[in-house]
Amino acid sequence: MTSTSANPTVILVHGAWADGSSWQKVIPLLLKAEISVVAVQNPTSSLADDAAATRRILNSVEGPVVLVGHSWGGAVITEAGNDPKVKALVYVAAFAPKAGETVGDQVGRYPAPPGLSQIRNDGAGYLTLSEEGWVNDVGQDLPKEEARVLSVLQPPLAASTFGDKVTEPAWASRPTWYIVSTQDRVVSVDLERELAAAMGAKTTELAASHLSLLSMPEAVTGVILDAVAAVETA
């Protein structure tokens, strides 16, 4: 759905080992609120490729945009969000590199969360997460069968993405919101809090796994709607 008025469009950017369907519980709530929404399908092959996919969606909508990123998607919206249409950024347990910084740099600042030990390399430069990792560390607050399905559906992530540098961070010039997942076992909770503070983001903490967008979609949607309201009244 694209916007044909001055009302904001919400563009949702998924994380690594996922696709646009990771927003499947948030999207109906946004539609119910009569919000125009589009989910990006990233190739998760490089920061440049994913930013390009997001920019294609940005180019397809009219009017202001609230750009939302989950996990790796935070790096994507940081890179792609400098489009003048983007009026607000929402980070959901997400990375937010500075200029010249990589996601790998941010990961390395804190002890590795347990979920990172479940990453598997196929030997050809692509990474996946084990089923055990999905069940116990990524979506531990989801029904086990739901987490197992996500494991089956996951697309591989190019290992090189961890070394891709952000050029100009969009968060430096736009209002930001940040959702910290306090039970996160994939991204350091301390890192999430550090990033939220560094951006001066309006911060919400949820007692959720890394997949708050699936386990607590109402709360995540509420934060997105808060950002939409701020754009509408700006």
pLDDT digits (tens, 9 = 90+) for 127-173: 999 999 999 999 999 999 999 999 999 999 999 999 999 999 999 99
> In degrees rounded to 5, what are phi and psi of residue 210?
-60, -25
Residue 234: predicted pLDDT: 82
For 19, residues 6+ apart whose C-beta sits below 8 A from its C-beta are 41, 42, 153, 155
Q: What is the pTM of this model?
A: 0.96
pLDDT digits (tens, 9 = 90+) for 5-19: 478 999 999 999 999
Residue 6: predicted pLDDT: 73
Residue segments in the chain with a per-residue pLDDT below the cut of 50: 1-5
Mean pLDDT across the chain:
96
Token pair 């180019």 is at which residue?
Answer: 59
Q: Nearest-CA neighbor of 212 among 106, 90, 130, 66?
A: 90
Residue 4: predicted pLDDT: 38
Residue 3: predicted pLDDT: 39
